[in-house]
């Protein structure tokens, strides 16, 4: 555990932030070079179809969520890079991607800052947040664009102002992750971000311990495919990259988002892996320059989204229908075979084509892409 004011071991420097873009660019440039060897029909044939018809999935979303509403926009200059979001009654909690202290801002219904919760712990790259039933705000210090961190961390900002740091390690090498799911029983799940759409889900292998590093274990794999929804800073690749997540206040649903879409699953008990094994409802999100944050509203069904940049629109997708309940299942005992979010696998050809498309977009506009 770090003492108050102590810097996390991997604390960023300006140099490291600049370098953090290089691995992603390198992977994408490799995909560009491979582009001529990919099937031309795929590259010119538009968006690949899901295992279930995309139109049917959108009809399902339309039955569950009404037209997006924008109650307000964040304009406070202290919040230029919102990457985490939670809702506590009539108060919205947000956090920046970065900073030299753990800081959570409280917003009122007009998106004005009404309070600040902070602790003297310098995070490395906080990417998401979740609100526990006891009022503790959990911050996922899990960003790692350079894939160089030996450990990542969860920081628990308690109502009394204390902020213990829980170190975690992956069993199979560094990962970049921007989504945190906090199950109703308090178990945290970290969901990785991948430019090819292959996300992995990890949870601690044992109880969290602020005095030692706890290993993570992989419990699920998800493969996201192109949806055709516009938005985000990296073109079509943004449809594949998980940037945030949340569990509803009543524990009956969970959501993951990409730069462009939200995926909502019913949840039974606290079995997150079992929930993710089922088909989600895919909800197209309004176009956003860099949408990274998502939460359930106080009604536990409506979705609230926002992202980086000022002004940052806070958008609500009101729930107008009931999500089918999840079937009760036994807890998952480990990672299964990779499966798509809709139940279909992501083929190597599709992955390669997606990478080529993403590379072309990123190389053309890399100068305007900030650290995520």
Count other Cβ atoms within 10 Å, centred on residue 212. Answer: 10
Location of structure tokens 């602790």: 119
pLDDT of residue 169 exceeding 60, the answer is: yes
**What's the whole-model pTM score?**
0.80
Identify the pLDDT of residue 63. 84
% residues pLDDT > 90 (the chain) = 69
All residues at 6 or more sequence positions from 360 whose CB lies less than 8 Å from its CB, including other chains: 32, 35, 235
Q: Which of 11-25, 55-69, 88-102, 201-215 has the lowest mean pLDDT?
A: 11-25
What secondary structure does DSSP assign to 38-86, as a single string?
Answer: S-HHHHHS-SPPPSS-HHHHHHHHHHHB---EEEEEE--TT-SBEEEEE
All residues at 6 or more sequence positions from 57 whose CB lies less than 8 Å from its CB, including other chains: 50, 281, 282, 342
pLDDT of residue 168 exceeding 70, the answer is: yes
Nearest-angstrom CA–CA distance, 325 and 305: 23
For the chain, state the CA radius of gyration: 19
Q: Distance of alpha carbon 247 from its chain centroid, rounded?
A: 12
Q: Looking at per-residue confidence, does 240 or 341 come out higher?
A: 240
Tens digits of residue pLDDT in 116-161: 999 999 999 999 999 999 999 999 999 999 999 999 999 999 999 9
pLDDT of residue 234 exceeding 50, the answer is: yes
What secondary structure does DSSP assign to 328-350, as a single string?
Answer: P-PPP-S----EETTS----HHH
pLDDT of residue 306 exceeding 80, the answer is: yes
Location of structure tokens 């993570």: 216
All residues at 6 or more sequence positions from 186 whose CB lies less than 8 Å from its CB, including other chains: 132
pLDDT of residue 16 exceeding 60, the answer is: no
In this prediction, residues 216-221 reach a mean pLDDT of 98
Q: Are 191 and 203 spatial neighbours (Cβ–Cβ below 8 Å)?
A: no
Tens digits of residue pLDDT in 245-293: 999 999 999 999 999 999 999 999 999 999 999 999 999 999 999 999 9
**Residue 274 backbone phi and psi in degrees, to 5:** -65, -40
Location of structure tokens 């959570």: 104
H-type alpha helices, the chain = 14-19, 22-34, 40-44, 54-64, 272-276, 348-365
Structure token digits, residue 360? 């072309």
Identify the pLDDT of residue 301. 96
% residues pLDDT > 70 (the chain) = 71
List domains and CATH numbers for the chain.
62-317 (2.120.10)
Identify the pLDDT of residue 313. 98
């Amino acid at each position: 555990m770090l003492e108050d004011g102590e810097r996390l071991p991997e604390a960023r420097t300006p140099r490291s932030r600049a370098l953090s873009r290089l691995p992603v660019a390198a992977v994408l440039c490799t995909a560009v070079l491979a582009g001529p060897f990919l099937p031309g029909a795929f590259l010119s044939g538009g968006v690949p179809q899901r295992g279930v018809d995309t139109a049917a999935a959108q009809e399902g979303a339309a039955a569950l969520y009404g037209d997006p509403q924008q109650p307000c926009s964040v304009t406070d200059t202290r919040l230029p890079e919102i990457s985490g979001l939670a809702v506590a009654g009539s108060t919205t909690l947000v956090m920046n991607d970065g900073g030299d202290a753990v800081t959570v801002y409280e917003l009122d219904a007009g998106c004005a800052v009404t309070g600040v919760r902070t602790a003297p712990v310098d995070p490395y790259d906080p990417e998401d947040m979740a609100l526990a039933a006891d009022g503790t705000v959990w911050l996922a210090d899990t960003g790692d664009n350079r894939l160089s961190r030996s450990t990542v961390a969860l920081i628990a900002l308690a109502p009394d102002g204390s902020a213990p740091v829980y170190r975690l390690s992956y069993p199979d090498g560094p990962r970049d992750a921007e989504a945190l799911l906090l199950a109703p029983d308090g178990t945290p799940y970290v969901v990785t971000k991948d430019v090819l759409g292959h996300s992995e889900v990890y949870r601690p292998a044992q109880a969290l311990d602020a005095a030692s590093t706890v290993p993570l274990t992989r419990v699920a794999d998800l493969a996201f495919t192109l949806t055709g929804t516009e938005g985000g800073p990296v073109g079509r690749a943004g449809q594949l990259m998980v940037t945030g997540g949340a569990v509803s206040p009543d524990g009956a649903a969970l959501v993951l988002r990409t730069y462009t879409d939200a995926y909502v699953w019913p949840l039974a008990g606290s079995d997150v892996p079992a929930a993710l094994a089922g088909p989600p409802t895919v909800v197209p999100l309004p176009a956003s320059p860099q949408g990274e944050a998502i939460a359930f509203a106080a009604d536990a069904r409506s979705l609230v989204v926002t992202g980086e940049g000022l002004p940052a629109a806070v958008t609500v997708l009101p729930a107008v229908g009931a999500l089918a309940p999840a079937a009760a299942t036994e807890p998952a005992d480990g990672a299964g075979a990779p499966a798509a979010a809709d139940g279909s696998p992501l083929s190597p050809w599709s992955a390669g084509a997606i990478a080529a498309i993403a590379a072309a977009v990123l190389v053309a506009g890399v100068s305007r892409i900030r650290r995520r």
